[in-house]
Structures are given as C-alpha cells and as structure tokens.
Amino acid sequence: MRKKVTFATLINLFLAFMKIGALTFGGGYAMISIIEREAVEKNRWISQAEMFDILSISESTPGPISVNTATFVGFRVAGFWGSFFATLGLALPSFVVILLISFFYKTFLSWTVVQAAFLGIRAGVVILLFDAVLKLKKIVKFTPLTLFLFIMTTSLIVLSFFFNFNLSLGSFKFSLSIILILLGFIIGIIATALKKGELEK
Amino acid sequence: MIFFELFYVFFLIGLFTFGGGYGMIPLIQEQVVARGWIDALSITDFIAISESTPGPFAINIATFVGSQTGGIFGALCATAGVVLPSFIIILIIAVLISRFMKNRFVRGALSGVRPIVLGLIFGTAIVFLIKLIISSSNPQSFTLTSSYRESIAIFLMVFGFYLAYRHFKKKSPHPIAILAISALLGMTIFWVL
C-alpha cells in the first residue's frame, strides 16, 4: 500500500524526472537506463519488474514513452500529484531548451562544433540502448516461447529499417511495434489460459 | 483563436501517437504543415534538432511549433495539448492496474509482452548502430560530413570505456558519463581534427 505522501517526495519526483528529461537524447528507449538509475536503483520507487511492466503499458498506449513512464511512476509513488509533478519535471527541460532554440535555431545548427558534438552523441545513444537491453534481460524468463518472441521482434524491427511494414486502416496507422505488443498480450493470455505454457515461474 | 487551436491540434496528435516519436510525423504533416504553421522543410531541420536535444520528440516539436506560431504562450498551449492525452490515459490505467495486477491473466499478458519489449529495444539498438555506420544518414542541414570510419571509431572508443567500466566497477557507467564522453569525442574527431 502507498506510503504517506510528503512534500519532499513530490519535490524529489519533480527533480528526478527533470534530470531524466534533461538527459534523454534520441528519445524513447534511450532513456530507459537513465530512468532505471533514478527510479529503480537510486530512489527505489519501483522494482525492475514493475519498470518493465510500465514500459510494456507505455508501448501500447498513445503518447511519448517517457511521458507515460513519468505519469505512471509518479502515480505509483505519490498518487495524482505525484504523476503531475513527475510529468511536469520531465517536460520542463525540453520545453525550456526548445523554446530557446526556436528563437535562433538556424544559427544554432550552423555551428559546426554543435554538429560535431551531436554526431558523437549518436554513438553514445547506441551504447545506452545496449545497456538498457543488458539490464532488462534479467527480467525476462527465457523459455523457448519467450526466446522466439524476443528473436522474432528483434529481427522484424531490424528488417523494418529496410522495408516499411506499417499498416494503415483508413486514416489510422498501426506501427509495427503496436502490432507486436498486441501480439505479446494475446500470446501471454493464451499461454496463461493453457496454464501449462505459463510464461512465469 | 490560435492558442486554443494549437492546444486542440496537439491534443489530437498526442492522442493518436503510439509507441512515441516518429510515428507522429505523418500527423504533423497533415495537421501542422497543412495549416501553414511551419513549412515542410523546417520539419526536416527540426528532426535533426530534436534528435540532438534532450527530451521526447513529441514535446520538442510541440514546443517548437507553438513558439513559432504563438510565442511562449503558444508553446505552452501546444505542449500541454500533446502531453495531456497520455497523462489522462496512463492515470486511468495506473488506477486500474493496481487493482488488477494480481489477476493472473493480466500478469500473463504482461509476461508475454516482456520479451517483445526487450526485442523492440534490442532491434532499435541495432538499427541505430546501422544508421551510425551509414554516413549518408546525417541530417540534411548539417554542413559537417562524417565518414563511417570516424563514427565507428567513436562507437568503439565509447564501447571500450563502457566495457572497461563494467569490468572494473561491476556496474554500468552513469548515462551522463557515456553521453559526455561521446559528445567530447565527437567534438574532437569531427571538429578539432
């Protein structure tokens, strides 16, 4: 059950997610290792398994993953005001930075030193992603079925870089990741119903 | 009124973007470019900026378009609009999930999704690595050119640091350290040299 919410908790949530917002380059998955560090290791607001569940839910609901995660973690820790302050903290750094950039963005991008730093950061982002995989793989219990799902998803995502798999239904576009997430939900439910094939210990 | 329109358009965009990020670009084209708020070319430029500044793409582009169209208050309206749908939806799910988390079907569904999410991240990492070694993937607005050799060199150096740190400290280096080192290497190799 939830602990009593103090003002200090709200401030902590706000500051931690402001840090996450300020350090998230390349968006989405790149920030997982940063959120993991702040919410799981440092503040112990959520467990690593909960972190994974939040990611799965974020993937299958609209909106940016980091906003979803901030709202969810904030709620877990301190209810409505927790999610309010976490989300506000997350949005603030990009808001301020982009606002400043929007006033002189042509000049900003023409500085070659800025471009050079950004080209370097792209390499760092790849390492952050591999780091996230390394951390999160402990949470998946590898059975033949989950291993198959993992390999299939990885291959499809890599292939989708070369070929476009996105489906559209009328004006609504389903991305490959949404389809795969939904597939995972369905397979998980079927496996539970069959009981024998239950994916968890 | 422009402020309400900014809020409304970005609320719609936020509501229909799944999985975050670039999934929203078609919607931006339909709604934002069609309204003449920014031109199509600025969007390409902006993707480059967003890739290299902190924060989620959605918030970045909402703040940018809002600011170009309606100043600071416009930026505020657009950003609030793009964040609000996920905020409300996740809040509802968060309330429900603590009640249903004990349900074995909910747990089963989530355990089926876990390997998929792991695969999504791993696949994205590989795609980013591929993009890194294709030199032509530089944003159009960049005047600097980089060859795949330099990019691979930076990647290997940061990777070497990462492995050494994990070997000696038995834990991953702080993400800030990884980003700072790669930015410095980028400045050294592409700008100084």
The ipTM estimated for the assembled molecules is 0.75
Question: How many other CB atoms sit within 10 Å of the CB of residue A47?
Answer: 12
What's the pLDDT tens digit per position in B147-166? 778 888 999 999 999 999 99
Buried b (16+ CB within 10 A) or exposed e, B5-27: bbbebbbbbbbbbbbbbbbbeeb
Q: Pick the residue with more confidence: A163 or A88? A: A88
How far is the CA of A27 from the CAs of A30, A87, A181, in angstroms?
6, 15, 19
Q: How far apart are CA A56 and CA B110, in angstroms?
A: 7
Q: What is the mean pLDDT of chain A?
A: 82
Partner B contacted by A56 (CB < 8 A): yes
Partner B contacted by A99 (CB < 8 A): yes
- Cβ–Cβ of B185/A120 closer than 8 Å? yes
Bridge partners for A182 per DSSP: none
Low-confidence ranges of chain B (pLDDT < 70): 17-26, 40-45, 47-48, 51-52, 98, 101, 135-142, 145-146
What would the two tokens of residue B2 be? 């422009």
Question: How many other CB atoms sit within 10 Å of the CB of residue A116?
Answer: 24
Question: Domains of chain B: which residue ranges?
Answer: 2-135, 143-193
Considering the entire predicted model, what is its pTM? 0.74
Question: How many other CB atoms sit within 10 Å of the CB of residue B183?
Answer: 21
What would the two tokens of residue A135 be? 């951390």
Q: How far apart are CA B155 and CA B146, in angstroms?
A: 13
What is the residue whose two structure tokens read 């390997």? B115
Which residue type sits at A7?
Answer: F
What's the pLDDT tens digit per position in A11-59? 999 999 999 888 877 556 667 788 888 888 888 888 888 888 888 777 7
Buried b (16+ CB within 10 A) or exposed e, B81-118: bbbbbbbebbbebbeebeeeeeeeebbbbbbbbbbbbb
Q: How far apart are CA B28 and CA A75, in angstroms?
A: 30
Partner A contacted by B94 (CB < 8 A): yes
Q: What's phi and psi for B100, nearest 5 deg?
A: -100, -5
- Cβ–Cβ of B143/A112 closer than 8 Å? yes
Which pLDDT score, from 0 to 100, does residue A201 have?
44
